[in-house]
Amino acid sequence: MSASLEIQLLAVLVAAACALPGVFLVLRGTAMMADAISHTVLLGIVLVFFVVQDLQSPWLIVGAAAIGLVTVTLTELLQHTRLVKQDAAIGLVFPALFSVAVILISRFARGVHLDVDAVLLGELAFAPFDRLIVLGIDVPRALVTIAVVLIANIAFISLFYKELKLATFDAGLAATLGFAPALLHYGLMALVSITAVGAFDIVGVVLVVALMVTPAAAAYLLTSDLRRMLVLSVAIGVLSALAGYWLARLLNANIAGAMATMTGVIFLVVLVLAPQRGLLAKLVRRRRQQADFAATMLAIHLLHHTGAPTEAEEARIDHLERHLDWQPGYAARVIRHAERLGFIKSIAGHLQLTPTGYAKAQEVLAS
């Protein structure tokens, strides 16, 4: 396999591994906790590294999961003192732990692969150089790590799918049924920590958050079905990964940064164009509701004056502008819309209610 292909495969797997737990983070409103964890796993990595002196040790995963849970616990402890609110608690804990990690790295771990730039940027472009023989196949080491993380994510989510779903949408019911939502919460946070440490080598600590939250958020704007959301989230993540890889190649820039950028671009497109919840769809819907409302108003107005002595006067188009306080252009638009709906007919500057319009006005007045 060529280096380029290997990098793309890595990017795709990282994106998929991050996009899965991201769905639950977005749904449960714990995205910023993931941000905190993705920073603090660095401390776990550094501490374990000082003990085992090996950046490839599986203990790193254990250390990262542990420090992730420490982060969550510390934040919750702080919150339980009621001295600070949750957001401030998160904002207090993770910068402190992350600072310790950065200082430890720059003081004591200089030159041993761990360096501060790599922490932020990841080293996806260099991943193919560090190789490993697995089952007789020569593969990049990072590929093995991230594949394991991806499998762990898939396994956790499929095993506890029902429980996660229940705890996410109705924590109270989950608790009464004996599902221990707190335990699932910690499980999910451990999963986020493991994913963060698996992805950290490849995309760096902050961009893990982009790959977790952004595709899931975009997917949430597209569907309300959990299964479909998981699939869409992975698909958007994978698409961003590939687009990001080629963008980075084009600009000769950092791949992880470009991947994060592409998640943002896709999110923006979805935000504007999503079929039902997109901004454009909302705007169109609101416009149509306004127009429908105005057309109904017009029908009611005409109904009121049907058979009255002033009927001819009231049904004149130019009279509407004064009576209903409509701007000239707006009145014309409403009339066109009402004609299209079949509410009225316009004959020589006079408006006439059709049977449909009559029925509609009656219906509204009766309700």
Residues that bind another protein (CB under 8 A): 25-26, 29-32, 34-35, 78, 81, 83-85, 87-88, 90-92, 95-96, 98-100, 102-103, 106-107, 116-117, 120-121, 204, 206-210, 212-214, 216-217, 220-221, 247-248, 251-254, 256-261, 263-264, 267, 271, 277, 279, 282
Q: How far is the CB of 73 from another protein (least distance, A)?
A: 16
Tell me whether residue 29 or residue 329 sits nearer to another protein (CB atom).
29
DSSP track, 68-100? HHHHHHHHHHHHHTTSS-HHHHHHHHHHHHHHH
Tell me whether residue 97 or residue 294 sits nearer to another protein (CB atom).
97
Tell me whether residue 8 or residue 75 sits nearer to another protein (CB atom).
75
Q: What does the block give as tokens for 18?
A: 């991050």
d(CA 324, CA 302): 11
**Side chain identity at residue 178, one-letter code:** G
CA angle 25, 30, 31 (to 5 degrees): 70
Helical packing angle, 31-52 and 181-203, nearest 10°: 70
Q: How far is the CB of 76 from another protein (least distance, A)?
A: 14
| Beta carbons of 146 and 157 less than 8 angstroms apart | no
Tell me whether residue 31 or residue 62 sits nearer to another protein (CB atom).
31
Tell me whether residue 65 or residue 210 sits nearer to another protein (CB atom).
210
Instruction: Give the sign of the dihedral formed by CA 337, CA 343, CA 345, CA 346.
Output: negative
Q: How far is the CB of 130 from another protein (least distance, A)?
A: 20
Q: How far is the CB of 191 from another protein (least distance, A)?
A: 17
Q: How far is the CB of 221 from another protein (least distance, A)?
A: 6
User: How many residues are present in the chain?
Assistant: 367
d(CA 188, CA 116): 28
